[in-house]
Chains A and B, each alone.
Chain A
Amino acid sequence: MRTFSLKKAGLCLMVMAGLATMTAPAANAQDVTTGSATATILAVLSVTATQALNFGNVYQGVAKTQDETSDANSGIFTITGAAAANISCYFQLPEFVALANGSDRMTITFSSTDATFSVLDAAAPSTPSAPGLGATLNTNPRNLTGTAIGAGGTSQIFLGGKVIPSVNQTAGAYSADIVLTVAYLGT
């Protein structure tokens, strides 16, 4: 692993501290500076869940669809890495959400148009409702192809879905896992 010199790391610390001052509350300035450990690393790959897919309250017998274009409720994944690098993105999506005690479960579906892949960078962040010109709209979350990190070093995936409660669905809080796996194709 290659490391930057102390002088360069110091410069990077100043850059990070400056950004922290501009973009985060004062209490977080220290946090960002502490994150300088990442500045010693040549190349990184990061996948983050910026927002969980949220269906809000659901009622017995009434299916509810959450569109991937919803700024407030779509699932948002952010991928950060080497600019323009080709990546493989693979979703493992649940077929059911279940109560914690396992006593009941509810169908959840993802259609072949429930995802958007956006490549705008952090300087002009995209949103589910405005994913930008370079975005691949209404694509299949189970078969994401041609995915790459944006020129600015980041890409985003917006995900929608549908839950289908039965007429006698037990009231309560249901949960399941959505797994996104990302790999570089060029290494």
Chain B
Amino acid sequence: MITTTTTPPTSTRRARWGFLFSLVTVLALTGNLAAGVLVAPTVVLLSDKNRTARLEINNPGTTPQEVTIAFAYGLPESDSIGNVRVALQNTNVTDPRSAMEWVKAFPRQMVIPPNGSQVIRFVVNPPKGLADGEYWARVVVRSKESEQTIPKPSEEGSITTKLNMIMQTAIMLKYRTGTLNSLVAITGSEAVKTDSTVVVTMDMENRGNVSYVGVLTCRLLDTNKKEISRTQTDLAVYRQLKRRMELPLNGVTSRCSVEVSLTTEGRTDLAPEDVIPGNKVFSTVEVDQGNR
């Protein structure tokens, strides 16, 4: 499936400008104190047609930052109750979808002065005969103050400590080749009423050959299909994923149901041409009235 370039709708552009304004405000308010770097974009995309990409690192702080670039492997994984996290693996990666071994970054070590920036370039050299689809790695941007000073004890014979705060951002890198197919299925779902909320858990499975990047929406409906509450989150399904969402009951005590939808449309944080359009999934879950 081939993506096409489209002009973002006005609401999307507004959302982006809103985000930018918030970001600028944060940087303006914290810039004098903070030690860390800003990394963009949040996904690095390469393909068989475009084997190079770039990442920009900016130091908005007032002290030089020592930055290193490394590669790791890690997909969003969920535990048995639907909490999701990314566990990074640096060595012994055996997943055939890993691109870690055949992507390179230049430069990999640098010192970025205050208010300076550095472009990192990526080059991919994939092995021959790769199956169609997407291959993944994590770009780990590690930053710390380049001048680490340990405070001297203010009293003779006493002890002081200095904890160096090191920040890492793990950016997803994706290499796409051949015919791309974004397909997801909901393989299980459950909705349980608690005192003031309905807790929904959903099992999802990726059945395509690319990560399913989209939006998950849950609507809590009463018996007349009137919306009681709703919640929405961005998600990426690489293999299997369990997600847990909470919906406020807002005082409703009667029977209700949850309408679940999954779509690749509506992502305001990604450029439309970077999202592989996929299937839409709708599901309705009756709420178990028992307390948990």
A interface vs B, CB < 8 Å?
A: 1-2, 12, 15-16, 19-20, 22-24, 28, 31-32, 34-35, 37-39, 41-60, 75, 77-78, 80-86, 88, 90, 94, 97, 100, 106, 108, 121-123, 125, 145-146, 152-154, 163, 165, 169, 171-187
Contacts and interface: CB of A to CB of B under 8 A. Distances in A.
Interface in B1-43: 16, 18-43
A171 B161 CA distance: 11
Contacts of A34: 115
Nearest to A80: B26
Contacts of A39: 20, 24
A175 B162 contact: yes
Q: Which 6 A-B pairs have the closest CB atoms?
A: A48-B36, A49-B165, A186-B234, A48-B34, A153-B22, A41-B40
A48 B171 CA distance: 16
A146 B161 CA distance: 31
A181 B22 contact: no
Interface in B151-168: 151-168
B117 A186 contact: no
A97 B30 contact: no
Nearest to B154: A57
Given A42-B271, A177-B144, A181-B168, 14 more contacts: A28-B32, A38-B58, A41-B41, A46-B27, A54-B161, A55-B161, A82-B42, A88-B85, A172-B153, A173-B160, A178-B166, A183-B169, A184-B172, A185-B86
Q: Majority SS of interface residues in chain A?
A: mixed
A39 B58 CA distance: 11
Contacts of A57: 153-155, 158-160
